[in-house]
Amino acid sequence: MKQVDLLYTGKAKSVYRTDDPDVYIMKFRDDITAFDGGKKDTLGGKGRYNAEVSSFFFRYLEENGIRTHYLASVEPAVIAVRGLTMIPLEVIVRNVAAGSIVRNYPFREGEVLDPPVIVIDYKSDAHHDPMLNDDLIYALGLATPEELDQIKAMALAINEVLSEYLDARGITLVDFKLEFGRSNAEIVVGDEISMDSMRLWDKETGASLDKDVYRFNKGDVLETYAGVAKRILAPPKGGSA
């Protein structure tokens, strides 16, 4: 399998076509951005931590019966994925109130949301990712009612699997963002599941273990990413994985 040409370049990842039309190569770059691109840096080694964690979670989800685009790890910051037709939705699952939901609604930071809250944004830089509702999603032709039901059910199932996994390692999954695509008629998880796309809090100290460290200058971003990757890839404390 040979990398051919650049298909798409985002804020922190680049996707390449290969000589196999069904397989793409995804590179996790060392770039990090926040606030709609308003804050930007390059942190040597960051791409690799996000690739490791994403690859691990994709494999773990597959083991739990959830289809993802993951095929194989190629290099430390590079994975091979199934080519999908991406659906331009950012599907955010929230277990604890933090970030934009606290800024925009009368929730207290740290308030538990039970049942979890799903928020779906339109992935469109030109429109600054506005929040959608089901009717807007249908009217814009982004997904059918059947597809949207499936996307929400998959998002909640993934939330259960990941929350339990992280909880056993002393980490609260506060919220996270998923993207989905179509492979023939099948809905498949795409993009990444990493410290850039999750909000993670240490259960004991409440410390941020994710991109909030970068957003709000809470500490050493690389050290945080390295530490959380190690915790995620290791067996749980006091038990076997």
Positions touching ligand TYD (CB under 6 A) are 90, 92, 99-101, 121, 129, 175-177, 197-199
For ligand TYD, the closer CB: 27 or 177: 177
| Shortest reach from residue 112's CB to ligand TYD, in Å | 16
| Shortest reach from residue 162's CB to ligand TYD, in Å | 12
| Shortest reach from residue 20's CB to ligand TYD, in Å | 29
How is residue 119 written in tokens? 């928020």
- Residue 24 contacts residue 16 (beta carbons within 8 Å): yes
What's the sign of the alpha-carbon dihedral 96, 100, 102, 105?
A: negative
For ligand TYD, the closer CB: 71 or 209: 209
| Shortest reach from residue 132's CB to ligand TYD, in Å | 12
Distance CA 180, CA 65 (A): 16
For ligand TYD, the closer CB: 69 or 199: 199
The span from the first CA to the last CA of the chain, in angstroms, equals 33
For ligand TYD, the closer CB: 60 or 176: 176
Nearest to 202 by CA among 96, 75, 55: 96
- Other Cβ atoms within 10 Å of 86 Cβ, number: 17
